[in-house]
Amino acid sequence: MSRIGKKPVTIPDGVKVNVAQREITVEGKLGKLNWTHREEIDVKVSDDGKEVIVTRSNDERESRALHGLTRALIQNMVVGVSQGYEKRLEIQGVGYLAAIQGDTLQLRVGFANEIHKKIPTGLDVTCPDQTHISVKGVDKQKVGQFAAEVRAVRKPEPYKGKGVRYEGEQVRRKAGKTAK
């Protein structure tokens, strides 16, 4: 049996979880998330309303895989509406900077033109200063996806370390062609 799947999801105070048909709705102080799970998996809220129990109907390979996945996604939803998720990015390089103009993130990262990334709905993107970007939201997937897209605009290169990186990310540096 899935070790992750059989562990119940605890519901913190201030979070409501509703299961109707296959639709799971999680509501908390930061927002509301919906998700429809697969039919091979059964999701129930316990009688006291303190935890969510995920079970599977059979022991087929796909059902076993979906068991742990469903539990992990519900856990991420509960954490998202109660605490939220945040990814921090930093920009390194001479003349490299970021700014927010309305609902667009503007990046000047060494190209001839500025790069404009539209900020998705449901995300709060801020620039505390010109070299840092903070992406916050309730949906873990959206936060991680937007942060990865911003990083992909100019990945940190191995010779000088210039580019967009996650805060605290270690970039492996290379010596260059003059070193022997």
Matching fold, domains 9-82 and 85-166 = yes
Sorted by where each begins, the domain ranges of the chain are: 9-82, 85-166
Q: What pLDDT score does 1 carry? A: 55
Sequence-distant (≥ 6) Cβ neighbours of residue 47 within 8 angstroms:
none
Each residue of 142-170: pLDDT tens digit? 999 999 999 999 999 999 999 999 999 99
Each residue of 48-58: pLDDT tens digit? 889 999 999 89
Q: What pLDDT score does 66 carry? A: 92
| Domain covering 9-82: architecture | Alpha-Beta Complex (3.90)
Domain 85-166 has CATH 1.10.150.120: no
